[in-house]
């Protein structure tokens, strides 16, 4: 008998307390080992519309809802007695007559009380909103996975009612309708298959569990963290052959990390001799990737053993150590001291320490300029402050002294490390046949030069995933100048799987509809849709921090009362200076807090508190972004220390990106707060509430 598990089951399991979850898991294991065991107490659900729904007793109050046929047993839902029975009575599992995919369908007559297919009769002066799908035939709507009994409701849908409707539909149908409503023409689903549970659309919600080990993994992790589902629209980017470097972009929540992860595993499976580098820019994100890689291919050591995963600096340090010995990296304080000392020794200039540090970091060190001639001829891309020939000579005399100081101290910069590796692998065999890079927008010049040396000119050698709208750590620069040209091989994902439509639409207001990189590659946000729906974000300003913490505390307490686990809530701030305000808000809620770290397990049972930077790449059900005060966001110290016009524009852009990143960490609930007059960026979000 085939044993399956549904996403609705893992979702419902997460809403029970620890003891109840343990009891449900024990019953689930008993069912898998022997579904005919006399110790299992099956009860036929007479009021259910689906005759194959049964209840299994877990304890006096908790029930497990299963869908049982002669060939399969599916774990569908678990909950307290009345809740579990009510869930089963308003759903059925059936094969779609057109697509052939197994669907979990809400019974139409049971949701009439919560969903009205038509709005109340409008007042005589109100023009009714046009229906969205009048031009789409019933046949096509069925082809997109709309259940037959929901066709009439879909026909009545307007822009005001569509989101309320889609939450009741199977995911593939909701996705297609949202695409059609925004002017896109989605591809028709895959043809029907003999087994309705093996259809790609069915695999969004049902998973065959082949062993007790797989069941244990499914029960220990939420659905999205257990095995990473790959949408058919994403799969073609994962399995495509590329003639050169390729890049996948998309706004927050569109699955770029999932695509990168599957790409690495796909390359390893396709070629048993392949050696894959899977990397990103930070320890925190690399740790998250490791967990997901384990969920995806942890039972395939022949695959995972050929995937080297780590932050790019960690990879660089290890490779450099093998060839040249452990590098001694110059600290920021040491570099600043060397620059100040060299500047004092060179007379006849008026360059500020801020300008010198920016010129060193973004031009001299980043591009590994080691001679006067190289600096004299460099284009200084991105630097708007013009400097003449005499000024360049003075600058180089300063930077040359810095290089001498670094050499005398036997220390190097990260750019030196990656520059050495790039030079090495440009003329000798590289340790990797392929490199897959997540959050590529925050990989710097030196890191990209190293990656290019691994095979910029070989097919399928380089694969990048990132979002220019989330670039918060690096200045923009020309990839093409480093032989990484993604033109013609750059694709954008447009379906958001993580963040509710209300949060996505609100956060997107912070960014332009299209962002173009230095090489002219545009990443568009128009047409992005979310498959989730939820309450609108709340943006509030207060007279002082105490008033803010009181309201944020009540908001957190309400989330906890509504069943959101503490570790699924985060309170984010701009910098460590504001973190105490976040801890105070959590205390007001009567909860415990934990600082965000590389190891997220430390926040279990506690509300996560941290900076917006540390939250990059993470996700939570509920997020409060607080202390968005004037002169905090954008950070006034950063703005005042900018010495180049280009840096000023860059500073404002990355501060705005930072708020976007923080807001899009939320899946279901978002609260943004500050003390009046508040951050200038909040105007866009406040407009969203008008």
Tens digit of each residue's pLDDT (9 = 90 or more) over 465-490? 998 888 877 778 889 989 999 988 99
Q: Number of structural domains, the chain? A: 5
Mean pLDDT over 259-280 rounds to 95
239/369 same-domain check: no
Band of pLDDT at residue 118, cut at 50, 70 and 90: low
Pairing of strands 620-625, 569-573: parallel
User: CB–CB of 452/494 below 8 Å?
Assistant: no
Helix axis angle for 232-239 and 256-270, nearest 10°, is: 50
**123 pLDDT exceeds 60?**
no
Residue among 564, 566, 514 nearest 535 (CA): 564
Each as own residue / partner, the long-range contacts of residues 395-398 (CB below 8 Å, 24 or more positions apart, any chain) are 395/349, 395/351, 395/356, 395/359, 396/372, 397/346, 398/339, 398/342, 398/343, 398/346, 398/349, 398/351, 398/356
Give the range among 264-273, 470-479, 652-661, 667-676 with minimum mean pLDDT: 470-479
Band of pLDDT at residue 610, cut at 50, 70 and 90: very high
User: CB–CB of 553/626 below 8 Å?
Assistant: no
The confidence score (pLDDT) of residue 41 equals 86
Q: What is the C-alpha separation between 174 and 243, in angstroms, rounded?
A: 35
Q: What is the C-alpha separation between 80 and 563, in angstroms, rounded?
A: 14
502 found inside a domain: no
586/683 same-domain check: yes
**226 pLDDT exceeds 50?**
no
Of the residues 411, 440, 464, which one is the last residue of a structural domain? 411
The confidence score (pLDDT) of residue 35 equals 83
Q: What is the C-alpha separation between 492 and 254, in angstroms, rounded?
A: 9
541 found inside a domain: yes
Q: What is the C-alpha separation between 627 and 545, in angstroms, rounded?
A: 8
Contacts of 49 (CB under 8 A, 6+ apart): 89, 90, 91, 92, 107
211/356 same-domain check: no
The confidence score (pLDDT) of residue 126 equals 61
Residue 634: asked if its preceding bond is cis (omega within 30°), the reply is yes
Rg for the chain, CA atoms, rounded: 28
Helix axis angle for 256-270 and 283-297, nearest 10°, is: 50
**577 pLDDT exceeds 90?**
yes
Q: pLDDT tens-digit profile of 40-89?
A: 889 999 889 999 999 999 999 999 999 999 888 999 999 999 999 999 99
Q: Which pTM was predicted? A: 0.75
CA 600 remoteness from chain centre: 16
493/625 same-domain check: no
611/675 same-domain check: yes
User: CB–CB of 375/369 below 8 Å?
Assistant: yes
526 found inside a domain: no
Q: What is the C-alpha separation between 466 and 448, in angstroms, rounded?
A: 13
**690 pLDDT exceeds 50?**
no
Kindly state the DSSP code that residue 30 receives in the 8-state scheme. Answer: H
Kindly state the DSSP code that residue 674 receives in the 8-state scheme. Answer: E
Q: Does residue 427 or residue 218 have the better pLDDT?
A: 427
Q: What is the C-alpha separation between 340 and 323, in angstroms, rounded?
A: 32
CATH classification of the domain holding 621: 3.40.50.300
**154 pLDDT exceeds 60?**
yes
Pairing of strands 72-80, 62-68: antiparallel
221/89 same-domain check: yes
State both tokens at 40.
Answer: 């299992």
421/390 same-domain check: no
506 found inside a domain: no
Question: What is the share, in percent, of the chain residues with pLDDT greater than 90?
Answer: 50
Domain of 51, in residue numbers: 2-96+199-226
Q: What is the C-alpha separation between 540 and 624, in angstroms, rounded?
A: 11
Mean pLDDT over 208-214 rounds to 72
109 found inside a domain: yes
219 found inside a domain: yes
Q: What is the C-alpha separation between 532 and 217, in angstroms, rounded?
A: 25
Mean pLDDT over 116-132 rounds to 65
Q: What is the C-alpha separation between 228 and 218, in angstroms, rounded?
A: 11
User: CB–CB of 572/611 below 8 Å?
Assistant: yes
120/164 same-domain check: yes
539/654 same-domain check: yes
**516 pLDDT exceeds 90?**
no
Mean pLDDT over 228-250 rounds to 84
Taking the CB of residue 389, how many other CB atoms lie within 10 A of it?
A: 8
141/205 same-domain check: no
**132 pLDDT exceeds 70?**
yes
236/203 same-domain check: no
504 found inside a domain: no
Pairing of strands 522-524, 2-6: unpaired
635/486 same-domain check: no
520 found inside a domain: no
Helix (H, G, I), strand (E, B) or coil at 646: helix
Of the residues 356, 389, 411, which one is the last residue of a structural domain? 411
Band of pLDDT at residue 162, cut at 50, 70 and 90: confident
Of the residues 482, 497, 512, which one is the last residue of a structural domain? 497
């Amino acid at each position: 008998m085939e044993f399956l598990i549904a996403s609705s089951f893992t979702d419902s399991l997460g809403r029970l307390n620890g003891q109840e979850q343990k009891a449900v898991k024990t019953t689930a294991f008993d069912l898998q080992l022997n579904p005919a065991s006399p110790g299992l107490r099956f009860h036929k659900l007479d009021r259910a519309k689906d005759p194959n729904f049964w209840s299994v007793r877990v304890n006096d109050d908790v029930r497990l809802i299963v869908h049982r046929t002669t060939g399969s047993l599916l774990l569908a839902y678990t909950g307290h007695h009345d809740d579990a029975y009510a869930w089963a009575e308003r759903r059925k599992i059936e094969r779609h007559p057109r697509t052939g995919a197994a669907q979990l369908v809400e019974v139409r007559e049971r949701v009439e009380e919560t969903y009205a297919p038509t709005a109340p009769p409008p007042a005589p002066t109100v023009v009714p909103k046009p229906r969205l799908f009048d031009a789409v035939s019933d046949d096509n709507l069925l082809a997109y996975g709309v259940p037959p009994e929901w066709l009439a409701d879909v026909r009545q849908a307007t822009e005001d009612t569509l989101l309320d409707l889609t939450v009741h539909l199977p995911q593939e149908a909701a996705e297609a309708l949202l695409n059609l409503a925004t002017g896109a023409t989605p591809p028709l689903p895959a043809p029907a298959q003999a087994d309705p549970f093996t259809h790609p659309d069915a695999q969004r919600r049902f998973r065959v569990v082949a062993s007790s080990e797989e069941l244990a993994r499914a029960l220990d992790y939420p659905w999205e963290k257990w095995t990473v589902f790959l949408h058919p629209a994403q799969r073609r980017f994962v399995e495509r052959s590329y003639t050169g470097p390729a890049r996948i972009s998309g706004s927050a929540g569109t699955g770029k990390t999932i695509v990168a992860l599957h790409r690495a595993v796909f390359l390893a499976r396709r070629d048993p001799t392949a050696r894959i580098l899977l990397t990103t820019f930070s320890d925190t994100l690399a740790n998250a990737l490791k967990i997901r890689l384990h969920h995806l291919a942890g039972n395939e050591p022949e695959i995972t053993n050929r995937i080297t995963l780590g932050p790019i600096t960690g990879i660089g340090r290890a490779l450099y150590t093998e060839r040249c010995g452990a590098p001694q990296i110059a600290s920021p304080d040491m570099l600043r001291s060397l620059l100040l000392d060299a500047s004092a020794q060179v007379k006849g200039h008026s360059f500020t320490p801020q300008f010198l540090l920016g010129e060193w970091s973004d031009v001299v060190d980043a591009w590994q300029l080691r001679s006067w001639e190289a600096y004299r001829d460099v284009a200084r891309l991105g630097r708007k402050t013009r400097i003449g020939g005499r000024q360049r000579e003075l600058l180089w005399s300063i930077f040359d002294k810095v290089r001498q100081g670094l050499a005398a101290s036997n220390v190097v910069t990260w750019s030196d490390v990656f520059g050495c590796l790039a030079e090495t692998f440009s003329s000798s065999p590289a340790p990797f046949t392929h490199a897959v890079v997540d959050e590529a927008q925050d990989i710097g010049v030196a890191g990209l030069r190293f990656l290019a040396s691994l095979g910029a000119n070989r097919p399928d050698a380089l694969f990048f995933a990132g979002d220019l709208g989330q670039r918060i750590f690096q200045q923009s620069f020309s990839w093409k100048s480093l032989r990484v040209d993604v033109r013609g091989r750059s694709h954008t994902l447009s379906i958001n799987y993580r963040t509710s439509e209300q949060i996505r639409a609100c956060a997107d207001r912070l960014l332009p509809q299209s962002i173009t990189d230095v090489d002219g590659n545009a990443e568009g946000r128009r047409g992005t849709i979310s498959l989730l729906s939820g309450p609108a974000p709340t943006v509030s300003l207060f007279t002082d921090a105490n008033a803010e913490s009181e309201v944020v505390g009540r908001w957190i307490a309400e989330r906890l009362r509504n069943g959101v686990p503490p570790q699924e809530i985060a309170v984010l701030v701009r910098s460590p200076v504001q973190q105490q305000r976040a801890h105070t808000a959590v205390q007001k809620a009567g909860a415990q807090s934990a600082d965000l770290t590389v190891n997220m397990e430390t926040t279990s049972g506690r509300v996560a508190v941290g900076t917006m930077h540390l939250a990059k790449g993470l996700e939570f059900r509920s997020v409060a972004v607080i202390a968005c005060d004037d002169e905090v966001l954008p950070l006034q110290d950063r703005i005042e220390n900018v010495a180049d016009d280009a840096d000023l524009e860059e500073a404002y852009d990355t501060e705005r990106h930072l708020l976007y990143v923080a807001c899009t960490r939320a899946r279901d609930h978002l609260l943004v707060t500050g003390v009046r007059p508040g951050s200038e960026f909040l105007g866009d979000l406040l407009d969203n509430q008008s």
